[in-house]
Amino acid sequence: MKRILLITGLALCMVIGVVRSDQPTGTDALIAQLAEIEYLQGNFEQTQKGPDGKTMAKSSGRFQLLRPGFFSWEILAPDSQLIIANPEFLWHHDRDLETVTRRPVVGSEQMAPLQVLGGDKDILRERFTVNRSSDTSWTLIPVASDPGFQQLVLTFSDNTLASMQILDSLNQRVEVSFSNLDSGTPLTAEDFAFSPPDGADLFYYDE
């Protein structure tokens, strides 16, 4: 269950977006940096570590991002899962369990790290404080207590996302690195279409 919640949280992150206006330098610089990304796709490797620093789980796969509001996160190892998000719904297809979950994006109470990549500047300013850690790194901290995470660090290289680190509410750390990035191939909303496969158990939380 924790693994599913983590994946869902990561997916929500890439769809919405958030930071705070009392930190104009860090916030505005991050918004400008994110504005360089219209669409992006590539591979990822994700490591989850416990409070003691020991590795708890690893996964890898590929992702696609179309700003604003479209996101795909596909885990290929060690299991097979797919997250698809559009401005309306967040889909989670667990291929091993043959289940499909659908949740509404708008009105979600739980904020999550990748959300800042989606691009709503007003929410970004309201929900987080942002500190520029270096020329290529930003640290985001939720303004109010949040059940999803305590801190998010985004690092860029050559004007695109290189990695991120997430400290969750249980003091577990998630480290995500990106590779084989492609920001030149256009993506469209049709690339993020999803229909539940026949035979899958469906769980819709928006009805």
CATH (domain of 85): 2.50.20.10
67-77 per-position pLDDT tens digit: 888 889 999 99
d(CA 90, CA 71): 9
Which CA distances in Å does 47 have to 6, 44, 83, 135, 184?
Answer: 12, 10, 18, 25, 27
83-122 per-position pLDDT tens digit: 998 888 889 999 999 999 999 876 554 445 555 676 567 7
Q: Could you give the number of structural domains in the chain?
A: 1
E-state strands within 23-132: 39-49, 55-66, 70-77, 81-85, 89-94, 99-104, 128-132
Domain of residue 144, residue span: 2-204
